[in-house]
Amino acid sequence: MKKSLRKQVLQELKSLSKEEKQSMNDWLTEQFFQHPFYKEAKTIATYLSFPHEFQTAKLIEQAQKDGKTILIPKTYPHGKMDFVLYEPEKLERNSFGLLEPKGNFSIIEPSLIDLIHVPGLAFNPSGYRVGYGGGYYDRYLEHFPGHTISTLYPCQIQDFQPEHFDIPVEEVLIYEKDF
């Protein structure tokens, strides 16, 4: 079920026009900056996005201007993931094609992270998500004490039953305007 849902949503995401995506990204980024979770956070973990995903570059840039500490994921085999300081000069592409930290980096303890901006392909109305299938975020979020938020395009809201190990995102921002 998750495999076909991933394929369907990925296809829908890739079919969005550049203009649609830009409009939705701008609106969602603004909603993110207005959210109390963002305003209260000092340390924010986010992700470096694929072209078909919500684009995080402006979010990262503005958060840094706002004095926030930005973290990005570092993944390891067997679904393990840590968050490390975002240092653009220390990035390289991993086996999934994502930019990830290389060399020496400092792992930040989960208790020091105020907010995680969680990626995903599909989300149900209760905030449960379907990611890319590695289980990295579900494992990490299982014991994470801070806030979680996701930014979604309308096609990412899907009706599915979560599995027992799935961890919901606390707050989901969904693009709501007409084009």
Cα atoms in the Cβ-side hemisphere of radius 13 Å centred on 16: 22
Distance, in Å, from the CA atom of 167 to the CA atom of 156, rounded to the nearest integer, reads 17
Domain that holds residue 15: 2-174
Number of domains in the chain: 1
On the question of pLDDT at 179 being above 50, the answer is no
Distance, in Å, from the CA atom of 127 to the CA atom of 60, rounded to the nearest integer, reads 23
Closest CA to 154 of 3, 4, 20, 42: 20
- Domain membership of residue 41 (yes or no) is yes
- Domain membership of residue 137 (yes or no) is yes
Burial zone of 28 (CB within 10 Å; 0-12 exposed, 13-18 middle, 19+ buried): buried
- Domain membership of residue 179 (yes or no) is no
Name the percent of the chain in helix, strand, coil, to the closest 5: 35, 25, 40
Closest CA to 95 of 134, 137, 60: 134
Cα atoms in the Cβ-side hemisphere of radius 13 Å centred on 59: 30
Output the domain CATH number for residue 45: 3.40.50.10420
**What value does the mean pLDDT take over residues 68-92?**
93
**What value does the mean pLDDT take over residues 67-94?**
92
169 contact partners, CB below 8 Å, separation of at least 6: 118, 120, 123, 127, 128, 129, 148, 149, 150
Per-residue model confidence (pLDDT) at position 160: 94
Per-residue model confidence (pLDDT) at position 133: 86
Per-residue model confidence (pLDDT) at position 103: 84
- Domain membership of residue 133 (yes or no) is yes
On the question of pLDDT at 94 being above 80, the answer is no
pLDDT bracket for residue 1 (50, 70, 90) = confident
Angle at which helix 57-65 crosses helix 18-34, to 10 degrees, equals 30
Write the pLDDT tens digit of every residue in 106-160.
Answer: 899 999 999 999 999 999 999 999 998 889 999 999 999 999 999 999 999 999 9
Write the pLDDT tens digit of every residue in 32-69.
Answer: 999 999 999 999 999 999 999 999 999 999 999 999 99
